[in-house]
Structure 1
Amino acid sequence: MTTARIRTIRGDIPADDFGFCHSHEHAFLAGGHPATLSPVLRIDDYDATVAELREFRAAGGRAMVDCQPLGCGRMERELFLASTETEVHLVASTGFHKLAMYPEGHWIRTTSEERLKDIFVHELTEGMYTGTDTREPEAAIDTNDGIAKLAVDAKAGIIKTAVDADRMADPDKRWFAAAAAASLATGAPIVCHTETHEEAIWLADYYMTKGVEPRKIILCHLDRTTERPETHRELARLGCYLEYDTIGRFKYHSDEEEAELLLRMLDWGLADRILLSLDTTRARLKHYGGDIGWTYLLDRFLPMLRDRYGVADADIHRWMVANPAEAFAFI
């Protein structure tokens, strides 16, 4: 038994109680600027999401990490209510996404490093702000127009960050510095959207240089290409977690190619660094008219790993239960 605890949207729970976990999802995403980039980036039907969560739980799922940070479509109240109604543990995100997810003039583009750090820490330790798509967190606190100060006193449990080509080219890295400082101040893990191997290497190195322990760094989406597995090996050997979610996403590659990547990581003795999820959009959720749904790992992919590739139940348990309990814990 461990004394580590995970900060879910309904409160802290023992890490041992977290259960079968999807490590990178988007349960809700409000209509707004992100949906102007792509219509699939709108997941705002409460009943549809609850129906998805109920099916996930009935299939054996117990937890999800919601990776939509503040200011770009996060739906705090709905996350809390859906978690309460379905009894699925949901972990909410503070932090930031790619700046393309925010319109010109959005407060997050101009806020200072120190203020960003304070906002992230507040959401992790006091409660999440509401209304941040259109107003600064201070305004959400100070208004007298009926907007609540916090989302039912619910707290974020991770710091979401995102790097892409624009962020790499921009010498201003205050968002990343603020995330590192907030992690050091609270013990919160940092979940990192990446789009290339080079970005993942840079971001892991950046956070470690700032003093963040590798076990607090979760690098996402490296499995969008199954090339250069040696890069995965080296990042995992540093102690970072690799979150794979290009499963059932055939525009990138087949599930069989995903399985081969996982087998290679097993052969290298790195099963304890792997997390799995689906990173679904509206187009892939059944109750939004999509074709995958949150039961895909349980119904299709994990049985394939067992039956066709001989992956042991112990390794699947590690990826879906034991590793998330460690990766998302405040220690």
Structure 2
Amino acid sequence: MKRIMTVCGPEEGDNLGFCQCHEHLAISKGVSSEKNPVLLMEDEEKSRKEALRLKKNGGGTVVDAQPGGCSRMEEVLQRISKEAHIHIIASTGFHKLCFYPEHHWVMEKSQEELYEIFLHELTEGMYSGIDREFQPKDTKIRAGIVKMALDKEGLTPVYRKLFLAGAYAAGDAGVPMMIHIEKDSDPAGLFRFLKEKGFRAEQMIFCHMDRAVPELLVHRELLEEGIFLEYDTIGRFQYHSDERELEIFRFMIDGGYEDQLLFSLDTTRARLKSYTPEGIGIDYLLTDFVPKMLAFGFTEQQIHKISHDNFIRAFTAEN
């Protein structure tokens, strides 16, 4: 089986344990935190404590979904991984453009230049020194996934360029694409665009649709095409209850899609106990939501698929 790239090097899938597919453990100051203060987690000790909490309660692997050029903390992630004995998979790619300063290199560089940057981060090492100006320093710490973001303005020329650069890099490096879906965006349209360009559904993980797209039949239509769906509106009661989340999982599993579901928490400063004591903590899936799943009637086999087997297949499918 193909090995999966973590910030500490390639790892066998069987060793990854309980996997959370979309988290944020460390984010430095930047435009994203200027727009939303909860997107600032730059205290290495607090982030380490959160990772240790996850490890203590049975966690094995997290994907840190902050891409380069957008306040990613590459070396901090590697140190936390080593010290907490948690596998961390880092992201290259791009976020919503509102999280970058005006005229940022993410917007200005050509598709080919962006492809080369993303591919280098996947195959050689992530760059530091690229949050404002592009003054790259090669960390030799490799990313293991391409993060991309679909915003409500859709596939403008800049976003088309970015999606193609990211998708080609993901395909050539043999890693999945993790795609942020924003409320009022068009995930089905994005899927058609990528499919027409020759990219396989099995490469794609669509995130946040449990809060961004209320029409659940749209979820099933995309699952029918073969994508993975990562749900993370768990312990996020400003959107809906955990009971509603369980109903969404049940609807998808009853439709025959249990092999394509993933879950996570999409943590922020407000949700990490080490930063905000009243937060749910990065271990909430293990301590609270999984017991709720069992009480709701999900089997241990189904939970193992969502927390491990499906994750490994998403990362090891031939692209």
TM-score (structure 2 length as normaliser): 0.96
Deviations 1:158-187 (A, max 9, x none): 000001123x16233100111121122111
Deviations 1:255-277 (A, max 9, x none): 00000010111111100110000
**Aligned CA distance change for structure 1 residues 197 and 106 (closer, same or farther; 3 Å):** closer
Deviations 1:234-260 (A, max 9, x none): 111111000000001011111000000
Deviations 1:99-123 (A, max 9, x none): 0000112111100000000000000
Query: Among 293, 300, 304, which residue is 2:288 paired with?
Result: 300
Matches within 5 A, 1:39-78: 39-78=37-76
For 1:265 and 1:298, the matched residues in 2 are separated by 21
5+ long unaligned stretches in structure 2: none
For 2:130 and 2:45, the matched residues in 1 are separated by 23
CA contact (8 A) 2:183 2:213 kept: no
CA contact (8 A) 2:147 2:177 kept: yes
Residue 203 (1) aligns with residue 187 (2): no
**Over 3 Å off, 4+ runs:** none
Residue 328 (1) aligns with residue 310 (2): no
CA contact (8 A) 1:7 1:330 kept: no
CA contact (8 A) 1:162 1:192 kept: yes
The answer for the alignment partner of 1:102 in structure 2 is 100
The answer for the alignment partner of 2:178 in structure 1 is 191
CA contact (8 A) 2:155 2:190 kept: no
% identical equivalent positions: 42
Deviations 1:178-214 (A, max 9, x none): 1121122111110000114752112222222222211
**Aligned CA distance change for structure 1 residues 267 and 193 (closer, same or farther; 3 Å):** same
Which letter does structure 2 place at the counterpart of 1:15?
G
Q: Secondary structure at the match of 2:274?
A: helix
5+ long unaligned stretches in structure 1: 141-148
Matches within 5 A, 1:241-256: 241-256=228-243
Q: Secondary structure at the match of 2:233?
A: coil
For 1:209 and 1:187, the matched residues in 2 are separated by 19
Q: Secondary structure at the match of 2:175?
A: coil
The answer for the alignment partner of 1:5 in structure 2 is 3
How many residues align? The count is 316
CA contact (8 A) 1:226 1:257 kept: no
For 1:286 and 1:214, the matched residues in 2 are separated by 36
Residue 291 (1) aligns with residue 289 (2): no
**Aligned CA distance change for structure 1 residues 113 and 213 (closer, same or farther; 3 Å):** same
- Supply the RMSD in Å over aligned alpha carbons: 1.3
Aligned-pair CA distance for 1:4? 2.1
CA contact (8 A) 2:234 2:242 kept: yes
CA contact (8 A) 2:16 2:60 kept: yes
CA contact (8 A) 2:58 2:286 kept: yes
**Aligned CA distance change for structure 1 residues 135 and 198 (closer, same or farther; 3 Å):** closer
Matches within 5 A, 1:1-331: 3-136=1-134, 139-140=135-136, 149-151=137-139, 153-166=140-153, 168=154, 170-172=156-158, 173-196=160-183, 198-224=185-211, 227-289=214-276, 290-307=278-295, 309-329=296-316, 331=318
Q: Secondary structure at the match of 2:37?
A: coil
For 1:235 and 1:16, the matched residues in 2 are separated by 28
Aligned-pair CA distance for 1:135? 2.2
CA contact (8 A) 2:203 2:317 kept: no
**Aligned CA distance change for structure 1 residues 197 and 205 (closer, same or farther; 3 Å):** farther
For 2:185 and 2:15, the matched residues in 1 are separated by 36
For 1:199 and 1:85, the matched residues in 2 are separated by 40
TM-score (structure 1 length as normaliser): 0.93
